[in-house]
A and B are shown apart, each in its own frame.
Chain A
Amino acid sequence: MLKIETTHDSNFTTLHLIGEVDASNSIELDEQITGLVESGAKKILVDGTKLEYISSAGLGVFMSYIEDFQENEISLVIYGLNERVYQVFRILGLDQLIKIKSDKEEALRV
């Protein structure tokens, strides 16, 4: 089960991921991010404090935006991941391409 909540602040948008991202609902996440890009968001924060699990399909979603975001100068920062989920990002090497911070303050400083 995955629930995605979006909050808009003056200069950034936050996606709150609640639950688990797996093959069945990774499309939802993909649609949400695409929607933000289309609406012209330049700074996207992903709140992972309530993210309990992410499968390879979920990682694939983040991975697929890396080059797009670099080209279009959109910044995406993930924060608040628990240790287990962070390890999943780290093992794949995504931590080297995506900014992953421990909390919101740090994420905002980027």
Chain B
Amino acid sequence: MLKLPNLNIGKISLLVAIMTWLALLFVDITRLFGKINQLDSSIAPEISYILQIIFFIMVYLFFHHSIQKSEKSNFLDLIWRGASTGLLATVVSLLISLFYYMLGDSRLASDPILKNVFYHIDFGFITLFLVSCTLLWKHLILYQKNKRIVNQWQGFEVGLLISMFFVFFNQNSLDYSFLFGLGVLVIFGISLSVNLKWIPYLTFKEKWKSILYLVVILISSSYLFIQILSYSSSLTPYLNLTDNLFLLALFAFVFIYSLFSFLVTLFNLPTSSVFEQKLVEAINFQRLSQSIKPGQNENQVLDILMDSCMSAAYVDAAWMEILDVKGNRNVIHQRFIGNKERKELQKLIEETKPFSDFIWDSKLNDSKTFIGKLTDFKYKSAMIIPLVIHKKTLGKIYLVKEVKDGFNKEMTNIIATFVGQACISVENYRLLNEALKNERYKEELQIAQRVQRSLLPSKLHHDDSFQIHGFSEAADEVGGDYYETQALGEGKYAIIIGDVSGKGTSAAFNMSQMKGVFHSLVQLNPSPSEFLIKANSALSHCLERNHFITTSYYVLDTVAQEITYSRAGHCPTLFFKAKENASEYLSIDGMGLGVLRSKLYEKYVHQKVVSYEPGDIMILFTDGIIEAKNQSGEEFGYERLKKSVNGSHELTASQIQQKIIEDMYEFIGSSSLPDDDYSLLVIKFLQKPQ
């Protein structure tokens, strides 16, 4: 299988260039030899021209390749390469001149063949220098390229290529067509030479260096040009290689671009510090706007902020004052000033207008700056910038300068921008931290909510003689409302409603204990008072010291049409008597479960019986309903609940429940959400089917 070797264009083109140059030298010397000895050598000058063109193209390819390889090198390196090649070509040329100078009037000095050899050497180095410089300039011209510049450059290259072949047309004589061609290429070169966008990116020091290199290039090219001119005037017997349109055009281009660069760099020197400053500000801005990474803290952002502000306004001393959680003022990031001096200066600043206008609690500190004069011995002007997050001032930066009126508009603007960005970064950081904390808390709450919801029954036990409808809504936090029913047999039903003190996860767990207690005790078919006594003694062992559960327990006997009930600290039950078309709260004494954790509790448990008739309604509820507040802080209260029931007694149990909740919502207003949970059980007694 044929395998193509990995071609190295750079090496090959260099090799071919050297070989072409040797061939050119050989051809020319042979021709010269023939001429001198009047032999009839038939070597046409076209052969030399072709070899010359191949040499040009190979050198062009070589440098094109080698510059592309060093794509990443900076401008200074590039210019240095041009300058060093220029120096080399000049030194070689000088050495040749020196050699002839030392030969004096000897015979060797006038030997045409030796002279021609040196001429070829000079020609080779000049070509190297011009081509390498041209390609370097290409790199600089195309630094910030757009389509137009690229097209222009390609046009220029085509022009150069054509100019190589021009030699066939006019044999390197300076006629009008030659001058026209040169004129076109020079104008082309000038139009390209205005692309000097790389210069502003040099630092002050780099600009000096590049000026030096450019001077070297300018001198080299001038010297070599003069050298060429001297050759062409004294070179009649040989083939003229250097009065070539291509070479002269390159001379013009290299010289013009170097001159332009030199002048522009020189005139850019005084303003370069401004550009550098802007660059630093842009980088600082970027650093500030990057949100704080994990593991870093606000302090690092404030540190960058201080550096940025100081360099933006060339201040002589600065410090930052930050309010901590307790509202104490702490000085951090103190720069170029001692503690004692700073304290005195701060006191002075705070007593001076306009700095004394600063108010910590003001909501209008955002994007405000305080700039003014100081009567201090050393520092003459000062600036204060508050750091504001969410209209809250969390600190301020003090900047002081030794000159009067040291803060101009640009400085103030850029500092205000820095401060704004830093505050956003700090705020984002705080929000993120808060969000993470909340996320964990929310997860915990969700678990608790799931537990709580699973504790409420999905189905309530009843028969045809009464309707029962339950409703429970937890506020954003987990609550501890609880209700449940159980069929006891023989038309008897146990009903319980309760409210666990506290909120959150602990409430949900206490509620699940209550549910356990209910399901255990209901098996024993206890009377309401027995239930409460036993539940109290059971819960006394598991409730935390400051927790209690309020509950009401009912045994509904549909045969006797009566309800036996006991109350343990829970809100009284509302009972609507259809016959009287009025409702009353069932009054009975009682005490919350867990309030008194001893035998003494029994003393406080009471039990009552109430009989009912069809159409009567019983409303069991938790205190969330009564305590629901409207915007002016007024509670929904017992009377409004009563009214709500009286007005809806003809409806079904579920409709009554909806009506009560609607009334309550209407009362509290949609804007304020209740901060408690509220539960409701509506029981409506019906005519017993015969």
Q: Chain A residues in contact with chain B, CB under 8 A?
A: 23, 26, 30, 56-57, 59-61, 63-64, 66-67, 84, 91-94, 96-97
A-B contact sample (10 more), CB < 8 A, given A56-B550, A92-B569: A23-B503, A56-B548, A57-B502, A91-B569, A91-B572, A92-B595, A93-B568, A93-B590, A93-B595, A94-B595
Closest CB of chain B to A68's CB: distance in Å? 9
Whether A30 lies near B546 (C-beta < 8 A) is yes
Which of B503, B592, B635 has a CB less than 8 Å from the CB of A92?
B592
Which residues of chain A come closer than 8 Å to B596, judged between CB atoms? 66, 97
Whether B546 lies near A61 (C-beta < 8 A) is yes
Closest CB of chain A to B603's CB: distance in Å? 9
Across the interface, name the chain A residue whose C-beta is closest to B501: A56
Closest CB of chain A to B636's CB: distance in Å? 12
Closest CB of chain B to A82's CB: distance in Å? 12
Q: Which 10 A-B pairs have the closest CB atoms?
A: A93-B591, A56-B501, A60-B546, A64-B546, A92-B569, A64-B545, A92-B592, A93-B569, A63-B595, A60-B501
Binary interface encoding of chain B residues 582-613 relative to chain A, with 1 for a CB under 8 A from any of its CBs, else 0: 00000001111011111000001000000000
Given that A23-B503, A59-B501, A60-B547 are known contacts, is A93 also in contact with B635, CB under 8 Å in the complex?
no
Interface centre among B545, B590, B598, B635 (most CB of A within 10 A): B545
Closest CB of chain A to B533's CB: distance in Å? 14
B207 interface residue per 8 A CB criterion: no
Question: CA A64 – CA B545 in complex, angstroms?
Answer: 6
Q: List 6 A-B contacts (CB under 8 A).
A: A57-B503, A59-B548, A60-B502, A63-B595, A93-B569, A93-B590
Given that A63-B548, A63-B595, A66-B596 are known contacts, is A91 also in contact with B570, CB under 8 Å in the complex?
yes
Which residues of chain A come closer than 8 Å to B595, judged between CB atoms? 63, 66, 92-94, 97
B83 interface residue per 8 A CB criterion: no
B620 interface residue per 8 A CB criterion: no
B616 interface residue per 8 A CB criterion: no
Which residues of chain B come closer than 8 Å to A67, judged between CB atoms? 597-598
Whether B597 lies near A92 (C-beta < 8 A) is no
Which of A23, A60, A96 has a CB less than 8 Å from the CB of B548?
A60
The dominant DSSP class at the A interface is helix
Which residues of chain B come closer than 8 Å to A23, judged between CB atoms? 502-503
B514 interface residue per 8 A CB criterion: no
Whether A92 lies near B546 (C-beta < 8 A) is no
Question: CA A108 – CA B503 in complex, angstroms?
Answer: 35
Across the interface, name the chain B residue whose C-beta is closest to A63: B595
Whether A93 lies near B545 (C-beta < 8 A) is no
Which residues of chain A come closer than 8 Å to B550, judged between CB atoms? 56, 91-92
Whether A84 lies near B635 (C-beta < 8 A) is yes
Interface centre among B568, B569, B623 (most CB of A within 10 A): B569
Question: CA A63 – CA B544 in complex, angstroms?
Answer: 11
Which residues of chain B come closer than 8 Å to A56, judged between CB atoms? 499, 501-502, 548, 550
B571 interface residue per 8 A CB criterion: yes
Closest CB of chain A to B670's CB: distance in Å? 22
Which residues of chain B come closer than 8 Å to A60, judged between CB atoms? 501-502, 546-548
Question: CA A96 – CA B591 in complex, angstroms?
Answer: 8
Whether A93 lies near B546 (C-beta < 8 A) is no
Across the interface, name the chain B residue whose C-beta is closest to A52: B633
Across the interface, name the chain A residue whose C-beta is closest to B635: A84
Whether B501 lies near A93 (C-beta < 8 A) is no
Closest CB of chain B to A61's CB: distance in Å? 6
Whether A93 lies near B592 (C-beta < 8 A) is yes
Question: CA A93 – CA B568 in complex, angstroms?
Answer: 8
Across the interface, name the chain A residue whose C-beta is closest to B594: A63
Question: CA A60 – CA B480 in complex, angstroms?
Answer: 15
Given that A30-B546, A63-B548, A84-B635 are known contacts, is A93 also in contact with B502, CB under 8 Å in the complex?
no
Across the interface, name the chain B residue whose C-beta is closest to A61: B546
Binary interface encoding of chain B residues 556-569 relative to chain A, with 1 for a CB under 8 A from any of its CBs, else 0: 00000000000011
Question: CA A42 – CA B95 in complex, angstroms?
Answer: 115
Whether A92 lies near B548 (C-beta < 8 A) is yes
Which residues of chain B come closer than 8 Å to A93, judged between CB atoms? 568-569, 589-592, 595, 604
Question: CA A63 – CA B548 in complex, angstroms?
Answer: 9
| Chain B positions 425-469 with a Cβ under 8 Å from a chain A Cβ | none
Question: CA A56 – CA B546 in complex, angstroms?
Answer: 10
Question: CA A56 – CA B507 in complex, angstroms?
Answer: 11
Closest CB of chain B to A45's CB: distance in Å? 21
